[in-house]
Structure formats: C-alpha cells, structure tokens
Amino acid sequence: MISRTKYPITNEEIQLLSEKAGLGVVKNASPLGAGEYNAVYLVQTNSGEYVLKIAPPESVPVMAYEQGMMSAEIFWYEQMREHSKIRVPRIAYSDLSRTVFPAEFFFMERIPGKQLNEMDFSEEEKAAGAGTTARMAAELHRIKGERFGYLQLGLHDDWYEAYRAIIESLVADGKRQRHSSRRGKRLLKYIDDYKDILKVAPCCMVNFDIWAPNILCERTEAGIQYTWIDPERSFWGDAIWDFICLELFTPLTEKTNSLRAYNEAADLPVLATREEQIRYAFAQAHMGLIMEIEKYYRYTFHHAGWWRNVYVSGFLFRHAFATLKQA
C-alpha cells in the first residue's frame, strides 16, 4: 500500500546499498510485503536473495515511538533468535548512520514461503495454524524484561508508568498534526482509574503486530514451517496485548481456541479473568489510538487507508470503553 512514510528508492540506489553491504551486483529488485511504514524490497544479487528494508528518511514526520524503530527491530530479532525457538531471518548487513544514504536500512536473509494469509490451507490446517501462532506467542512471552515500554521512548519501572507515557506520547503525536484526541484524553483518565491493575502486570516481550502478513509459512516434508518477521513494533510490556491479533476482533473471553493453545505452552496462563479483560480493553484502546493518530502521518483524507483506520479505530475504542466503563 502507498504511504507517505515509504522511501521512494530507485534501482540505482538499491545497487549502491548492495555494494555498501558487500552483497554484489543486483540482478533484480521488486517491492515486497503488505507493510505500510517501511519500504521493503526483494533483492536478488549474484551472491543470493535478500530482503532490503528502508526506514523513512529524517525529513518525513513520524510518530514518536517510530523514531529509531529500525534499531529496535534489530534488537528484537536478536532477542527472539537468542531466547526462543521461533524462526526469524538473520540480518546480513545494517547501516543506521544515514551517512552514505539518507535513511536507515538493513538487508536480511530471504526466508522462503508465503504470508500466512496467502497460504492455500484446508480448514484443518487453518485451525492448526491458529493454534501454532498462539503457542508461538506463549513462547515469545517467555522472553522476560526488567523494565517496561518501547526501547525508543525510554523504559519505566512498571506497566502503569510505561503505558501512560506511551498514550501521552500518542496524544502529543496527534497535537503535532493539529489533532486533539478526545478519546486519548479519556483513555488517560481510565489508566489512572485502573492504576493498581496495570501496575502488577508482569514484564515480557510483546510483539503487538502478530497479524498474518508477518508470519511466513513453508510446506516441508516435516510439515508447515513458520517464520516470524517484522518485530519492529515490539516492546517490554503486558502479554495480554498480543491477544489483540489472536482471533482478531474477538472479545478475550471468546478467544477459546487461542487461549487453549496459548495456555498449553505458556509459563503464565491467561484465564480471561476480570483483571485480564480490563487489561485487554487497554490493549484495544492502545491499538485504537495508534490507528487514530497514524493516519495523519501516512495518508490523505482521500486514501483508503485513512478510512480503514477511522473504522477500525472506532470499533476498538467502542469495545474498550464499554469494558472500562462497566468494570
């Protein structure tokens, strides 16, 4: 999808970056993936196939938590590789200096396979894939942290402090685009109302972006192999946040298949208690506020992405506030 944050790179520039990375002569390069923030290309050189990922240049306004996000993505890939069994691509070369090129970039190995949403699955395979995704999320949550928040925004001693700072940052992002978020301000009040519940949330790696295009699948003799990509929006926080993308748009209490599979592998099971439902509502509101604000940075009023964000943001806030008001 077209987005104002994507760097409009030329074939000549791709060749320059390949030479900088020592990857050889570019034979072919083509846009890749369904992402809407970074520019991503499949690059074939005389030394192999790679994925080139390019961050927005400094001249393009981005939200506060997106600043320095490429460095964070490399960090999270390392965490997953070193502390879990989840398959992730290896980084072949990275340059975050902006000295040779006006944007941060890296090359990573190209993992064969298709996006989860593009697989020709039987109904049985779809159900198995959903269970595998939930169990992989449980494994991800075994990666523990000591302080909470986005690396690029600064870490805090508990989830209440970190989450409140994250929401304040998003509200400020809106103000920079001359948008005052009434729902963001309402959310801040609810955060204070439920301070005690947020404060005791345990700290682990949270992906917060486990949607189908970020999971690659390959059929092998041993079965379907899964690879996770694009952990750039990860943070240290509450594991409940990752249930947003498991059985999308379903209330936590109705995510029965995901809960069952997750709890088979989890060190801390999720039982959809009252407290967990409240925390899930905050996760919904967090995603809702991101989608409310990011449309001002990525799209114009006439873009399909703008109206998708309007609809999904409204849906998430309605459900989140219904829970937080009644609880």
How does pLDDT run across 138-160, given as a tens digit for each residue? 999 999 999 999 999 999 999 99
What pLDDT, on the 0 to 100 scale, is given for residue 39?
A: 94
Helix (H, G, I), strand (E, B) or coil at 149: strand
- Looking at the predicted structure, is the pLDDT value of residue 1 above 60? no
Domain boundary among 109, 142, 158: 109
Q: By C-alpha distance, which of 204, 165, 180, 169 is closest to 290?
A: 169
What pLDDT, on the 0 to 100 scale, is given for residue 326?
A: 86
CA distance 25 to 22: 9
**105 and 89 inside one domain:** yes
Q: Do the domain assignments include residue 214?
A: yes
- Alpha-carbon distance values, 114 to 48, 88, 118, 121 (Å): 19, 14, 6, 11
Q: Do the domain assignments include residue 4?
A: no
Return the structure tokens found at 113: 């396979």
**48 and 87 inside one domain:** yes
Q: Do the domain assignments include residue 275?
A: yes
Q: What residues make up the domain containing 26?
A: 11-109
What pLDDT, on the 0 to 100 scale, is given for residue 111?
A: 94
Question: pLDDT tens for residues 294-316?
Answer: 999 999 998 999 999 999 999 99
Return the structure tokens found at 191: 């955060």
- Looking at the predicted structure, is the pLDDT value of residue 33 above 90? no
**121 and 105 inside one domain:** no
Q: Do the domain assignments include residue 240?
A: yes
**130 and 253 inside one domain:** yes
Beta bridge partners of 117: none
pLDDT band of residue 327 (cuts 50, 70, 90) is: low
In 84-117, which positions are buried (b, 16+ CB within 10 angstroms) versus exposed (e)?
bebbbbebbbbbeeeeebebbbbbbebbebebbe
Element (H, E) at 114: strand 114-115
What's the whole-number average pLDDT of the chain? 95
- Looking at the predicted structure, is the pLDDT value of residue 104 above 90? yes
Dihedral sign computed on CA atoms, order 13, 15, 16, 22: positive
**103 and 136 inside one domain:** no
**256 and 137 inside one domain:** yes
Domain boundary among 79, 94, 109: 109
Question: pLDDT tens for residues 219-276?
Answer: 999 899 999 999 999 999 999 999 999 998 999 999 999 999 999 999 999 999 999 9
Q: Do the domain assignments include residue 296?
A: yes
- Looking at the predicted structure, is the pLDDT value of residue 26 above 60? yes
What pLDDT, on the 0 to 100 scale, is given for residue 95?
A: 97
What pLDDT, on the 0 to 100 scale, is given for residue 2?
A: 64
Find tokens 């890939």 and name the residue: 77
Question: pLDDT tens for residues 36-61?
Answer: 899 999 999 999 999 999 999 989 99
Q: By C-alpha distance, which of 49, 119, 120 is closest to 89?
A: 49
Concatenated DSSP letters of 180-234: --HHHHHHHHHHHHTHHHHHT---EEE-S---GGGEEEEEETTEEEEEE---TT-
**230 and 313 inside one domain:** yes
**191 and 96 inside one domain:** no
Domain boundary among 109, 138, 157: 109
Question: pLDDT tens for residues 67-89?
Answer: 999 999 999 999 999 999 999 99
**218 and 99 inside one domain:** no
Q: Do the domain assignments include residue 310?
A: yes
Number of domains in the chain: 2
Mean pLDDT of all residues in 264-291: 98
Asked whether 293 and 181 are in contact (CB, 8 A), the reply is yes
280 Cβ neighbours under 8 A, 6+ residues apart: 240, 243, 244, 252, 323
Helix (H, G, I), strand (E, B) or coil at 156: strand
> In CATH, what number is assigned to the domain containing residue 157?
3.90.1200.10
What pLDDT, on the 0 to 100 scale, is given for residue 12?
A: 96
**273 and 195 inside one domain:** yes
257 Cβ neighbours under 8 A, 6+ residues apart: 127, 130, 131, 134, 247
**162 and 78 inside one domain:** no
Q: Do the domain assignments include residue 2?
A: no
> In CATH, what number is assigned to the domain containing residue 56?
3.30.200.20
**36 and 77 inside one domain:** yes
Q: Do the domain assignments include residue 5?
A: no
What pLDDT, on the 0 to 100 scale, is given for residue 15?
A: 97
CA distance 158 to 172: 21
